[in-house]
Amino acid sequence: MTLPNETDLDCFRGDTFSYSFEGLDFSDYSNVYFTVKENYKDLDSASLIQISSASGLLILNGISGSVSGSGTASVTIDSGSTVAAIYIKASVTDEFEYNLNNYFYDLQMIKANDEVETLEAGAFNVVRDVTRTIT
């Protein structure tokens, strides 16, 4: 068993978030999940955000299914090689803002043979922004 890479991610409150995970082997994946939770023990249904490479945004602020007008998110696998980059982008509208807090995240891959592997994990820190008014 290989332990996942530990990387802490920082996001300014209200900003669009994008991150690239480099150097991970996605050669045999069927789905990849990015999940952010307040507590490790929380059910997936209580996630702050959960995104799937196969289905896009699954859960936003504890609400599952399509959350119209509340944001979009995607996980994209660069299929140009077996070692790929993953890009995660969550666009957040006024209806949903990350609260200032330190959350937990992981990046899990479901392989074609249904094996599960956690590739990355760490803190997802939402920090205070300075500019609050944007038009």
- Domain ranges (residues) in the chain: 5-127
The pLDDT score that the predictor gives to residue 8 is 94
The CATH number given to 5-127 is 2.60.40.10
106, 115 Cβ separation under 8 angstroms: no
Bigger pLDDT: 125 vs 63: 125
This prediction has a pTM of 0.83
Q: Over range 35-58, report the average pLDDT.
A: 89
C-alpha 82/C-alpha 46 separation (Å) is: 33
Nearest to 45 by CA among 33, 61, 69, 56: 61
Rounded to a whole number, what is the distance in angstroms from the first to the last CA of the chain?
A: 49
CA 69-102-18 angle, to 5 degrees, is 50
